[in-house]
Structure 1
Amino acid sequence: MIEAHQLTKRYGEKTAVDGLDFTVRPGTVTGFLGPNGAGKSTTMRMIVGLDAPTSGSVRVNGRRYAEHAAPLQEVGALLEARSIHPGRSAFNHLMAQAHTHGIPRRRVEEVIELTGLQSVARKRAGAFSLGMGQRLGIASALLGDPATVMLDEPVNGLDPEGVLWIRNLLTSLAAEGRTVFVSSHLMSEVALVADHLIIVGRGRLLADTTVQDLVREAGGDAVKVASADPVRLRSALAGPGVEITGRAGSEELLVTGRTAREIGLTAAEHGIAVFELTPRTVSLEEAFMELTRDAVEYHGTTTANAAADAGTENPRSAA
């Protein structure tokens, strides 16, 4: 379990993390999301003692990271896959870590097999591809068979087979009762593996929720319905927890709080012809973008927008 209480980090006048309160519980995959510059990496560094909080605290399994006698057995972390000696083989890199914690050689061999590094285990890590470097970083994180696993962008550089492997690995670790805390910018992957979400923006907590609840709050349970008599249908569907919107004179309504089945049955009961009944699908990415819209620190522009800002009519003429 990871517990943060009013966790704050300042660098001079810059507040990177601003009073975060959250708990990452065992037995579940928790996604850690936020725009670039939101404070995710700084938060993860404070969890494992690489950065000291300006104020507040963060504990892993009831203690600060530095207080654990054998930290690799408590929390395994991947924060920077390339933080390895380039002249050392993958096997020797893992053995050096194992020796510092009294971890037997057989465990090194186990994580090499688990992460698919058998064929390159004796090769210098400096020659590894980004994907192989990620696998070695994950092997390091799992070396101590930790109760808590924390991975920062673990699918970077992985091919489709590697992405599927990570997905299955994360869910299996959570199924074993471990605490799994994962940051990623790939919303499609987070939607597939995460049960819970911690979302930050500009260092502050924006949401502590589930994927389902976040999507629902963004309109994920809305249904578009077109009918011959939208006024009468609106009246028939009205009730507690039901929200109905639609333009005057339009056949279309957007209904929240009723399923497509319920809408269809209600329309049939009242003899109202229905031309369209379409559940509206909101992705995790859309819900995330809506939630963090005002917390994005770095904005890009299209070529056309940049040209317009510069007062040019033709984007090409500005080149």
Structure 2
Amino acid sequence: MDCPDSPSPEDHAMIEAVGLSKRYGPKTAVHDLSFTVRPGAVTGFLGPNGAGKSTTMRMLVGLDTPSSGHATLNGRRYADHAAPLHEVGAMLEARAVHTGRSAFNHLLALAATHGIPRRRVEEVVDLVGLRQVARKRAGGFSLGMGQRLGIASALLGDPATLILDEPVNGLDPEGILWIRNLLKSLAAEGRTVLVSSHLMSEMALTAEHLIVIGRGRLIADTSVEEFTRQASSGKVHVRTPDAERLGKLLRDLPGVEVAAEQGTEVLEVSGADGERIGRLAAEHGLVLFELTPQQASLEEAFMELTRDAVEYEATVTTTAPAQEVAA
């Protein structure tokens, strides 16, 4: 007979937030936030500055106590796991290390708390590329080296679930490619991977699913493909030597609009998808050089969706020419 407190199989390797709220006096940093992060895919956790991402991540691992709601990791609260490093690897502040210790001794001290063997410390040192500096004091590490040490700490217990806050911060191009491939490979093994980042271009290459919040509230919980599709204009970019004829045929269709620049081979079509345009061109023997749906980038989709949720918005100012200032 199963223990009543045992997590069910479907709860394994999942992050679940249910009605999470966090208030600091009159300010609500996170408001009734619910989502589930499932294994097998990298999930990006996005939001403008001040959206509540870091507060949410801290609540997931018990560093902040929710004002209401709760979160479970692999079916239990973080504090209820007997050996949490084996269940959840978290990097919320990569530089939270004893600066006088070497990278190796920092990891060795963490390993000792969970009975993790020395050989595992050796493995993660090699995995994150710190072998040459493992015996040096962590206080002298660059930002990128500190990030690698933080990731090594998160991976130390070989956990089923990973929570990483801005893991590519400070990494060079080689390091960014490395962490991208690492996260994808971990997800492919069936692990649950939640990653926050401000680099939309990197999230577009790494994540398959997105959780987007703004002002502490859930804005979107969807795939990257669906997220960008919803923000796309629906226009199709067409290039053809028969632009004038094709444009006329398209304008005769109900609900279709065509923008064309005089003397060019380019049409911008809205109200008809690429398949419909291609079939129409084929029926009339017209040549097509290009037929491209105008897909929004992840950055464009993010900016559009979070437009009203930006807490700290910069103001564009202009500087008067020097002679005018002098006057």
Q: Do 1:219 and 1:256's aligned partners in 2 also have CA atoms closer than 8 Å?
A: no
Whichever residue aligns with residue 245 of structure 2, its letter is A
The equivalent of 2:250 in structure 1 is 233
Q: Do 1:224 and 1:255's aligned partners in 2 also have CA atoms closer than 8 Å?
A: no
Q: In 1, distance between residues paired with 2:271 and 2:174?
A: 38
- CA drift of 1:282 comes to 1.6
The equivalent of 1:124 in structure 2 is 137
The equivalent of 1:58 in structure 2 is 71
List per-residue Cα deviations over 1:8-50 (Å, max 9, x = no partner). 0111111111111100001110000000000000000000000
Helix, strand or coil at the partner of 1:101: coil
Q: In 1, distance between residues paired with 2:321 and 2:257?
A: 39
Q: In 2, distance between residues paired with 1:66 and 1:233?
A: 62
Whichever residue aligns with residue 264 of structure 1, its letter is G
Unaligned runs of 5+ in 2: 1-13
Question: Which moves more between the two structures, 273-282 or 113-122?
Answer: 273-282
- CA drift of 1:258 comes to 1.5
Q: How does 1:156-305 map to 2 (within 5 A)?
A: 156-219=169-232, 222-225=235-238, 227-228=244-245, 230=247, 232-236=249-253, 244-246=256-258, 252-255=267-270, 258-259=273-274, 261-270=275-284, 277-304=291-318
- CA drift of 1:93 comes to 0.4
Question: Which moves more between the two structures, 261-270 or 7-16?
Answer: 261-270
Q: Do 2:128 and 2:148's aligned partners in 1 also have CA atoms closer than 8 Å?
A: yes
- CA drift of 1:279 comes to 3.2
Q: Do 2:17 and 2:71's aligned partners in 1 also have CA atoms closer than 8 Å?
A: yes
Q: Do 1:89 and 1:125's aligned partners in 2 also have CA atoms closer than 8 Å?
A: yes
Q: Do 1:227 and 1:275's aligned partners in 2 also have CA atoms closer than 8 Å?
A: no
- CA drift of 1:157 comes to 0.7
Unaligned runs of 5+ in 1: 308-313
The equivalent of 2:88 in structure 1 is 75
- CA drift of 1:203 comes to 0.5
Query: What is the alpha-carbon root mean square deviation over aligned residues?
Result: 2.4
Q: Do 2:46 and 2:53's aligned partners in 1 also have CA atoms closer than 8 Å?
A: yes
List per-residue Cα deviations over 1:90-113 (Å, max 9, x = no partner). 011001101111111111111001
Q: Do 2:15 and 2:36's aligned partners in 1 also have CA atoms closer than 8 Å?
A: yes
The equivalent of 1:113 in structure 2 is 126
Task: Report how many residues are paired.
Answer: 305
TM-score between the two structures when normalised by the length of structure 1: 0.88
- CA drift of 1:56 comes to 0.7
TM-score between the two structures when normalised by the length of structure 2: 0.86
The equivalent of 2:18 in structure 1 is 5
Q: In 2, distance between residues paired with 1:6 and 1:315?
A: 53
> Percent same amino acid among aligned pairs?
69
List per-residue Cα deviations over 1:182-218 (Å, max 9, x = no partner). 0001111111111100000010000001111111111
- CA drift of 1:270 comes to 4.3
Helix, strand or coil at the partner of 1:97: helix
Helix, strand or coil at the partner of 1:9: strand
- CA drift of 1:254 comes to 2.8
List per-residue Cα deviations over 1:117-160 (Å, max 9, x = no partner). 10111100000000000000000000010000111000011111
Q: In 2, distance between residues paired with 1:33 and 1:315?
A: 39
Q: CA 1:16/1:244 → structure 2, altered by over 3 Å: closer, same or farther?
A: farther
- CA drift of 1:219 comes to 1.4
Question: Which moves more between the two structures, 270-279 or 225-234?
Answer: 270-279
Whichever residue aligns with residue 123 of structure 1, its letter is K
Whichever residue aligns with residue 270 of structure 2, its letter is V
Q: In 2, distance between residues paired with 1:275 and 1:132?
A: 48
- CA drift of 1:233 comes to 1.2
